[in-house]
Amino acid sequence: MQFRSKIKQDVWVVDQMQGKRHGTFVDIGCAHPTYINNTYVLEKHFGWTGVSVDIGPPSTYTLQHLTPADYLMKWQSKRKSPLIIGDAMQVDFRALFERQGLPSVIDYLSMDIEPPRGTLACLFRLPLEHYRFNVITYETDHYRGENTREPSREFLLSHGYKLAVPGVLDRNGDEQEDWYVHEDFV
């Protein structure tokens, strides 16, 4: 099995979830269906289900030339989980989670929207009063200097999440993510 995440998010999730089979995920800002994707291995090798959200064909990798319809077809050729193409700031996440039949306790949330202030704004829109995530990988891109790390930490800590791995570095040594575990999961 080849893990696919950029900075080993999928490895960490598998470890935290102790190799759980048939878990659930929400991947906001998923980009490519397989390449540098945080949930591909979970779905393909561990039987997880969930939903992914992305604004459209990623501007990097090999998909930038695709129309949204072609992007969706590419996704569907590689993945079983649905892809919602659209602006995450316009998604009613509670309605989406209900439509997808997600449980009130979802195993994994991956958040990676560009720019980092978009990820923070989207975080504030999640229905955390109705849904809980066991583990979260949250891209802060703190090295960019946009000051979204502290507000995201305060928000998640106030909702019962523990900062398990702060300031995860990317391959360039830049502080890119924070990883969380919910206090009820620990």
For residue 127, the enclosing domain spans 114-186
pTM of the prediction? 0.95
Residues in Cβ contact with 11 at an 8 Å cutoff, skipping those fewer than 6 apart: 3, 5
119 with 185, same domain? yes
3 with 47, same domain? yes
Residue 79 in domain: yes
Higher pLDDT: 146 or 49? It is 49
Domain boundary residue among 36, 64, 84? 84
When mean pLDDT is compared across 29-43, 54-68, 79-93, 151-165, the lowest value belongs to 54-68
pLDDT at 32 over 90: no
Residue 125 in domain: yes
pLDDT, average across residues 92-97: 98
Nearest-Å Rg of the Cα atoms of the chain is 15
Residue 22 in domain: yes
Average pLDDT, the chain: 93
Percent of the chain exceeding pLDDT 70 equals 96
Residue 40 in domain: yes
67 with 123, same domain? no
Confidence at residue 94, expressed as pLDDT on a 0 to 100 scale: 98
pLDDT, average across residues 81-85: 96
75 with 138, same domain? no
21 with 73, same domain? yes
Count: domains in the chain: 2
pLDDT at 67 over 90: no
70 with 12, same domain? yes
pLDDT, average across residues 145-165: 96
Residue 90 in domain: no
Confidence at residue 54, expressed as pLDDT on a 0 to 100 scale: 94
Confidence at residue 61, expressed as pLDDT on a 0 to 100 scale: 62
68 with 125, same domain? no
pLDDT, average across residues 126-131: 97
122 with 73, same domain? no
72 with 123, same domain? no
Residue 62 in domain: yes
When mean pLDDT is compared across 94-98, 143-147, 172-176, the lowest value belongs to 143-147
Quote the DSSP letter at residue 62: T
When mean pLDDT is compared across 30-44, 59-73, 172-186, the lowest value belongs to 59-73
Confidence at residue 143, expressed as pLDDT on a 0 to 100 scale: 87
57 with 127, same domain? no
pLDDT, average across residues 114-118: 90
pLDDT at 58 over 80: no
119 with 176, same domain? yes
Residue 95 in domain: no
9 with 72, same domain? yes
Residue 80 in domain: yes
Half-sphere exposure of 42 (CA within 13 A, CB side): 34
